[in-house]
Amino acid sequence: MTYDILNDVKKVHDYYESDPLQKRYSALITGESGAGKTYLIRTCRLPVHIDSFDPGGTKGLRKEIAAGKIVADTRWEKEDPLKPDRFNEWKKEFEHRIRVGYFEYFGTYVLDSATSWGDAVMNQQLSSTGRAGEAPRFTKDYTPQKIAMINAIKRMMNLPCDFILIGHLKMIEEIRGTTKDGEPIRTIKYRFLTTGQASVTIPMQFDELYVLKGKDSPNGIKRVILTDAQGQYQARSRLKADGKLAVEEEPNIKALLKKIGLKWEDKPPIGGDE
């Protein structure tokens, strides 16, 4: 019997074309405090569900929350490091929502932020070893934390809606030699703020790694999204092929989706027309 390679190639091609993950959008969006990361959520595909671990992080979205455009679950903000339970409770609720099809009704799922969410994961890890509130041990606590975070992110990647993880940046100062006068040559760079090797492994999970930053303009500070590495910042886009995205873009997620060629329209409002 002659081997039909075209048939096997067609099977692979058909799977690729029908794979929803190839048409879904996931982004890790980082920035310094006050860069406008939470405000950017207003430009995502609606409705938006936010699981907020940052205390007070959704206060700037009150108007959209009141209008039903954004659903903000803020119960995760109330963590007691000596009696931690927010991560486990969030995980139970998240899995329940997957089972009942909750996320089918949303255009975007947002987790805000990786920093405070990671703290909740670590608090749970320490509690599980009878050491709640104590300092993490490098070899025994950070690896379980990293694994728990990456496993959860992979679950979020499979949602039937866009997924955005909000992150903060840490400043790293490096000394690159000295001047003729013996003065140190210092360079500054900014990287995703999380613990240990998760600063490398978590960004690798995402199609898009953006940095939201402010830059001087004739009209004052203008916010832009970096989609590619620039100077001190680390950014990239797997979806900007053929020049679909510039290195600097306006901070508007739906506009980016439209340029990339992915679904950019809102889903129907929950509960009927606006």
Residue 265 has pLDDT above 70, yes or no: yes
- Count of all residues that appear for the chain in the document: 274
Residue 231 has pLDDT above 80, yes or no: no
Q: What is the pLDDT of residue 256?
A: 95
Q: Who contacts 178 (Cβ-Cβ below 8 Å, separation ≥6)?
A: 184, 185
pLDDT tens-digit readout, 110-159: 999 899 999 999 999 999 999 999 999 877 899 999 999 999 999 999 99
Residue 66 has pLDDT above 90, yes or no: yes
28 with 192: CB under 8 angstroms? yes
Percentage of residues of the chain with pLDDT beyond 70: 95
Task: Please write down the HEC assignment for all residues of the chain.
Answer: CCCCHHHHHHHHHHHHHHCHHHHCCEEEEEECCCCCHHHHHHHCCCCEEEEECCCCCCHHHHHHHHCCCEEEECHHHCCCCCCCCHHHHHHHHHHHHHHHCHHHHCCEEEEECHHHHHHHHHHHHHHHCCCCCCCCCHHHHHHHHHHHHHHHHHHHHCCCCEEEEEEEEEEEEEEEEECCCCCEEEEEEEEECCCCCHHHHCHHHCCEEEEEEEEEECCEEEEEEECCCECCECCEECCCHHHCCCCEECCCHHHHHHHHCCCCCCCCCCCCCC
Q: What is the pLDDT of residue 96?
A: 98
pLDDT tens-digit readout, 200-214: 889 989 989 999 987
CB atoms within 10 A of CB 68: 14
Residue whose entry in the numeric block shows the structure tokens 């929950």? 270
42 with 63: CB under 8 angstroms? no
Say how far apart CA 116 and CA 37 lie, in whole Å.
15
Domains of the chain: 26-260 (3.40.50)
Q: What is the pLDDT of residue 273?
A: 60
